[in-house]
Amino acid sequence: MKIVYLCHRTPFPPNKGERIRTFHQIEYLHRKGHDITVMAPVSDAGDLNHLQTLQERHCRQILHAPAPGRLALVKALLSGNALSVNHFYSKSLQAQFDRLLGDCNVDAVVCTSSSMAVYVLRSKAIDFSSANRPVLVTDFMDLDSDKWRQYQALKGFPLSLLYRREARLIAQLEKRIHQRFDTCLFISQAEIDLFLQHNPDLGRLQVIANGLDTNAFQPATTPKPQPGPVMLFTGVMDYLPNEDAVAWFVEEAWSRIKAKYPSALFYIAGMNPSARVKALAKYPGVEITGFVEDIRDYYDRAHIFIAPFRLARGVQNKVLQAFACALPTITTPMGCEGIDCTPDHDVLVAETMTDFIRHIEWLVDNPEQGRRIGHNAMQLIHDHFSWDSQLASLEPLLQQRSAT
């Protein structure tokens, strides 16, 4: 099949959530012998270099255009468009997409987010009523409209008004995509159930969960540092759910943890730490790493993975990675979403910061039981979360056209 991927982020290197998911889809389909064209807005020379590497290894063709600047966000406010739509929309990329569809027989188009589905909805080269049009798939991943609703609840005026506007406009766009596309993918059944609270069931929703490269993420082979405990959180650290998670943990719990365990360390490992995250370094024992070349080094050092999410949608790759590394993991119910794990068997679940502290103390006092929880989590990943098993249903979906 000839498949076009419209990507809101360059899907290489696979070093953050949506990039990881999209990269593995492209790699899987390329390995299956399909002809892949990737299209994406690019922000800088680094994006272009990454796309070139992707083309050399995993796809036939790359088409790109400069990402819109900040003026596009102002235009969104003036025009009534969603900010995230204008942030990724390029007239030049739209023209290239339409020309590509006019010049060759494309079998399927995959859009990685509601924002990229706009290129299909605005395309002059697609007749939605035609039996010869490409199969159209949007990978929503998470339910973005609900993410904006969560942001609205967290922030005060005037950001709350802006986030409420974004939630409303994205929800309208999601509904339109659901009506026009053949299939909409979500990362978990919980995301689908949430979507169906506000939309009719048209039979076009499918779950494709995230997988994990178990060859890359494995238990440490060297002894952990002592005495510890060493705790870890990983992620892109200017992303609001990650920023909120670590700030909540450090501001509410770290002084009490440090008083009981003077040698305790908390690594916040990931690129682009925000000013709020950087400020957490004033707490003794909290280390903000910024970008690291190989995140696995920090998984190898840690005794406990901490995922204190209050804002989240979908499956957390960082939790899957911690499981694969056999790290005992403490997280909120949000951090478990979409992962069929059992509290107190594969993971420790905390509703409050008091719960987090209690679980940390229990793991320190009961290292053997902690290792057993980590082992159970690792076994869960090996049994159910390989990328090939998760993506086995993707190829057939790209061959099925629904009635529109």
Q: Is 132 helix (H, G, I), strand (E, B) or coil?
A: coil
Q: What is the mean pLDDT of residues 176-200?
A: 95
Q: Are 201 and 235 found together in one domain?
A: no
Domain span including residue 345: 230-384
| Mean pLDDT of all residues belonging to the chain | 94
Q: What is the pLDDT of residues 358-367, one digit of tens each?
A: 999 999 999 9
Amino acid 230: pLDDT: 98
Say whether both 146 and 164 belong to one domain.
yes
User: Are both 178 and 240 inside the same structural domain?
Assistant: no
Taking the C-alpha atoms of 49, 100, 66 and 16 in order, what is their torsion angle to the nearest 10 degrees? Answer: -50
* The pLDDT of residue 191 is above 90: yes
Confidence of residue 403 (pLDDT cuts 50, 70, 90): low
Residues 238 and 333 in one domain: yes
Same domain assignment for residues 18 and 141: yes
Residues pairing with 138 in the sheet: 111, 184
DSSP secondary structure letters along 68-125: P-THHHHHHHHHT--HHHHHH--HHHHHHHHHHHHHS---EEEEESHHHHHHHHT-SS
Contact 324, 212 (CB under 8 A): yes
Q: How confident is the model at residue 155 (pLDDT cuts 50, 70, 90)?
A: confident
Distance of CA 268 to the CA centre of its chain: 18
Each residue's pLDDT tens digit, 33-56: 999 999 999 989 999 999 999 999
Are 205 and 252 part of one and the same domain? no
Mean pLDDT, range 144-157, rounded to an integer: 90
Q: Is residue 188 part of a domain?
A: yes
Same domain membership, residue 6 and residue 93: yes
Burial (CB < 10 A; 0-12, 13-18, 19+), residue 209, is buried
CB 65 within 8 A of CB 112: no
Residue 275's CATH number: 3.40.50.2000
Structure token digits, residue 266: 């908390």
Number of domains in the chain: 2
Q: Are residues 56 and 168 in the same domain?
A: yes
366 plus 391 within the same structural domain: no
